Amino acid sequence: RPKGGEKKSTAAMMDFPTWRQVSVSDALLTNEILVMRRIVENVSPHPNVIDLYDVYEDSNGVHLVLELCSGGELFDRIVAQDRYSETEAAGVVRQIASGLEAIHRANIVHRDLKPENCLFLDVRRDSPLKIMDFGLSSVEEFTDPIVGLFGSIDYVSPEALSQGKITTKSDMWSLGVILYILLSGYPPFIAQNNRQKQQMIMN
């Protein structure tokens, strides 16, 4: 969803979640800046984690200038393709796992891993896949998780729901859900409402 001109050939100004224009007091933005700083210092460049090029403030708010990913969301490709072969799914999961390994080594827990937060670098079928949107993420040494907030219910781990405890293992649970969706074309837990879905996940 690029919008406007490019800052340089590999950077983009984009609407939420990749291009934010909000107040400095926005807790999610503040948290994401802390996490992205950690990524720049300890992870970047990485083929499967989005790069941060710049952060600046003007009269319109605070802006993050991130790597341009023009290939769209993994979610959109799943919808278009319906389901993936085992070989194709393995290729996708391998890339996400590589990105997770890198951020976990930096003590970062993503907390909201889902197909909508994985962007393809370009439109090629074999394009690199990038993990992005670190607004809910936590860095062990520097940030507390955003209190009361965790990722989308379809991808939340049982311990996050029952104990409010989200660790790197929770990210791996989310990755498992993504794999299930890639292979089957639908989520593993289907219910009439979120309360029923939470019970299914915890049981």
- Residues with a catalytic annotation lie at 112
Q: Is the dihedral of CA 84, 86, 88, 90 positive or negative?
A: positive
Indicate the pairing of strand 108-109 with strand 52-58. unpaired
SS3 62: strand
Of 196, 174, 1, nearest in space to 96 by CA:
174
Task: Give the list of residues 6+ apart from residue 12 with CB closer than 8 angstroms, or none.
Answer: 2, 6, 18, 19, 65, 66, 67, 68, 69, 70
